[in-house]
C-alpha cells in the first residue's frame, strides 16, 4: 500500500514541476515580446485663424499584436524654442506678445485645448486638430 502512495505523490510532484515549467516558459515569452515605438507629431490650431498653432508630440509602445503597452507620453512644444512642455500654458514661458488681439487668440487656443476630452488620444492619432 505504501508504494502506491509514493507513486501517487511522485506523479503529483512531477505534475507540479511541469506546471511550474510551463509558467516559467510563458513568462519568458512575455519578456521576449518585441515592442515597436511609435511617435506622432501634430498641431492644434484655431479654425477661424489657422496661423495660431500649438504643436504637440505623442510617443507610445505597441506589442506585436498592435496593442498599446502602458501609457502614451504626450507633451507640447514651446512656441519659440520647440522644447518639451508638460502643459499647453508652458508653451509660452518666457515669451510675450505685444499685440492684445494676438494675445487673445493664443489664450483662446489654450482654453480650447485645455477643455478637450481625449487629449492624449488626439495627440497620438491626429495630424492637425482645429478648435
Residue 25 CA to residue 122 CA, distance in Å, equals 38
pLDDT tens for residues 43-87? Answer: 999 999 999 999 999 999 988 887 888 889 999 999 889 999 999
pLDDT score of 49: 95
Q: Euclidean distance between the first and final Cα of the chain, in Å?
A: 82
pLDDT tens for residues 2-38? Answer: 444 444 555 555 565 666 666 666 655 555 678 899 9
Amino acid at each position: 500500500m505504501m508504494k502506491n502512495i509514493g507513486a501517487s505523490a511522485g506523479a503529483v510532484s512531477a505534475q507540479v514541476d511541469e506546471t511550474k515549467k510551463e509558467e516559467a516558459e510563458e513568462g519568458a515569452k512575455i519578456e521576449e515580446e518585441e515592442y515597436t515605438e511609435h511617435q506622432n507629431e501634430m498641431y492644434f490650431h484655431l479654425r477661424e485663424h489657422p496661423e495660431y498653432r500649438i504643436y504637440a508630440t505623442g510617443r507610445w509602445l505597441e506589442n506585436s499584436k498592435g496593442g498599446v503597452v502602458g501609457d502614451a507620453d504626450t507633451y507640447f512644444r514651446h512656441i519659440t524654442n520647440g522644447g518639451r512642455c508638460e502643459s499647453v500654458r508652458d508653451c509660452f514661458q518666457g515669451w510675450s506678445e505685444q499685440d492684445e488681439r494676438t494675445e487673445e487668440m493664443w489664450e483662446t487656443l489654450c482654453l480650447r485645448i485645455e477643455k478637450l476630452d481625449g487629449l492624449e488620444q488626439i495627440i497620438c492619432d491626429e495630424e492637425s486638430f482645429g478648435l
